Structure 1
Amino acid sequence: MEIKQLEVFLAVMSAGSITAAARLLDRSQPQVTRLIQELEASIGFPLFERNGPRITPTAKAILFHTDAERFLTGIGRLKERAETIYKEEMAPFEVAAIPAFAGGIVPLAIAEMPESLLPRNVHLRSISAEAAVQSVLSRTADFCVASLPIEHSGLEVHGLFQSPCVAAVASDDPLAAKATISMSDLADRCLITMANPFRLRRRVNQALEAVGVKPSRIVDTNASLNAVRLASAGFGIAIVEPATAYGVEMKNAEIRPLDLDIPFLFGIFSAASRPLAAGVEELIQLIIRISAARMPGFVAHDPGHIERVADVTFGADQPGQEH
């Protein structure tokens, strides 16, 4: 198995055809075909089903693609790191964050970084909480910002935080005239919220059950930005976390507090016993300061109480230092 074979495989997966991959790589079609065949012979299974000029990835190719992409990305980062060592430059920042933060607050924090602490290369990945934690544990990310629950002995906790969820509605929705949106306002309306049943969605479901409210329809998504945009189009009322609501500017969307506290819980984590560069530490502190400034009801919890904080449910009053 050679790197050039993996590069061709990723190009075909990305472009969707041998012809397009050849153009992308500035190679001939026969070269691309030959390298794919050599890779298939090396790994022992077919990567594409061929039907005339059309190709379709096999199920095994789809599974293989994730690891191949991760490997080549790592090779690229290794070359980049070698260059920074040679030039005696600062190491790149590797940041993993859930979409709620990768789309708003983390970029705001990066933009405020002092030039003297900012390296030439910064890598920000928007991924799930589970994947973000694994990135830290595998040392492919310096730190991550992720929603709770998270429990792992290999993590150092740089902060645990809480802020109430909010509602997003279209600017021309009658509810936009209200200072606070009540849970009862969701009755017979379309609710737009998150999909993951083990994180924020669980607390939203608990809140709906507690007040006996049944929306007419529920639309879920894996990113709050999608939910807010649906709400801004007048499709329904979104219940989202405050990082997206107050970290990203939205057109035709109004953000309102809810009459019931549905807590959004998140933390910042790095690998245990891994020293962080001064610039990385500064970026973490900027993320915390911007979050505290933008999120109403922001609370910082004791980092040593991660299990107790992760169990916070809607309407709960937990001890913490308010900012």
Structure 2
Amino acid sequence: MMDVRALEAFEAAMSCGSMTAAAKQLNIAQPTVTRLVKELEAEVGFDLFHRNGPRITPTDKGLKFHEEARRVLGGLKLIRDRAEAIRSERQEALDIAATPTMAGGLVAPALQLLAEDLPQDVDLQTMTADHVVEALRNRTADLGIAGFPLDATGLVAHVLCESTLVVALSDRAARAYPDGRFPLRDLAGKRLISAGNRYRLRPLIDAAMQAAGIRPSGSITSNSSLNAIMAARAELGVAIIDPVTAYGIPVKGTTILPLDTPIPYLWGLFSDSHRVTTPAQTRFAEMFRQVCADLIPDCRFPNPSENDAIAQTSRMLP
């Protein structure tokens, strides 16, 4: 079994950028940090850092291993926090893993609605949808929030939400649409701005344009819908984005319009199916559903057992 101290030394060295700074952070001697990292390298069988005198830079394998180490250490922190909560008999903690979109647009309002039921300790970590699922399966998070498609095998959907993609335009550009709706055909000859993940939103957008025979003049892609909104505000094109970012993180100077051709978008709040749901988690799920209903126009809540949306979107996975 790997030495937890070695993992902590590696994490500190990655965060601080040097063995000396890592030693100060951990309050141990610098040679001890160096020894622990070298022992970890010997155990995993590859170099974690490039060394140039006192300077260190992570290797490619070191960067990949860092993601795994962070999850392991996060799980250990969760265990320590839970043990402390049991010892002190304080209210249970709440650990949430969410994509940046969900964390930014929906989590804080849901926590606010908990009011006096808000746990003393809340840990919110942002990550990709795939890592949200992994955090739930590894039990380093109580609840996970992400958009589809995702591999929901072994997960329970406490809240399943469905809406449609929307358009973001600058306020000036939006004046051309006094009826408050953006015709998909108006993308012809304009630059399309969208999130660039080819397994998530973009295939749905491309399919809708292909069905309508529409070809944009160019594109701007980003890994963030918020970046797409900012580009639309600068009048660089037309942004087609998820409704959670659009309504949950409003940007001054932009107008959000529905499309005349609905493009579905689904998201949900999940937990591992083998994990007992606590009262705090159940209460948060209730508040999350309320926030989605309040913030997202036309938000629907399909029953996972009666709706095949999960299966349909999961087919888009590679």
TM-score with structure 1 length normalisation? 0.87
Residue identity matched to 2:227: N
Aligned to 2:118: 118
Contact 1:164–1:262 (8 Å) recurs in 2: yes
C-alpha distance in 1 between matches for 2:196 and 2:285? 27
> What fraction of aligned residue pairs are identical, expressed as a percent?
40
- Per the TM alignment, residue 57 of structure 1 is displaced from its structure 2 partner at its CA by 1.7
Aligned to 1:251: 252
5+ residue gaps in structure 1? 313-323
Aligned to 2:174: 175
- Per the TM alignment, residue 102 of structure 1 is displaced from its structure 2 partner at its CA by 0.7
Q: What secondary structure sits across from 2:186 in the alignment?
A: helix
Aligned to 1:320: none
Contact 1:151–1:306 (8 Å) recurs in 2: no
Aligned to 2:275: 274
Deviations 1:247-305 (A, max 9, x none): 11312222111111111112222222432122211111111111112212212212203
Deviations 1:103-139 (A, max 9, x none): 1111111011031x22111112222222222222222
Aligned to 2:139: 139
C-alpha distance in 1 between matches for 2:230 and 2:11? 32
Q: What secondary structure sits across from 2:305 in the alignment?
A: helix
1:65 to 1:150, Cα distance in 2 relative to 1, 3 A: closer
TM-score with structure 2 length normalisation? 0.88
Residue identity matched to 2:236: F
1:202 to 1:21, Cα distance in 2 relative to 1, 3 A: same
Aligned to 2:68: 67
Are 1:283 and 2:284 counterparts? Answer: yes
- Per the TM alignment, residue 189 of structure 1 is displaced from its structure 2 partner at its CA by 2.2
Residue identity matched to 2:228: A
C-alpha distance in 2 between matches for 1:305 and 1:151? 18
Deviates more, 1:268-277 or 1:83-92: 268-277
5+ residue gaps in structure 2? 314-318
C-alpha distance in 1 between matches for 2:92 and 2:46? 38
How do residues 288-299 of structure 1 correspond to structure 2 at under 5 angstroms?
A: 288-299=289-300
Q: How many residues align?
A: 310
C-alpha distance in 1 between matches for 2:146 and 2:101? 9
- Per the TM alignment, residue 201 of structure 1 is displaced from its structure 2 partner at its CA by 1.7
Residue identity matched to 1:218: S
C-alpha distance in 1 between matches for 2:282 and 2:40? 42
Residue identity matched to 1:100: T
What's the Cα RMSD here?
2.3
Deviates more, 1:183-192 or 1:33-42: 33-42
C-alpha distance in 1 between matches for 2:23 and 2:191? 46
- Per the TM alignment, residue 23 of structure 1 is displaced from its structure 2 partner at its CA by 4.7
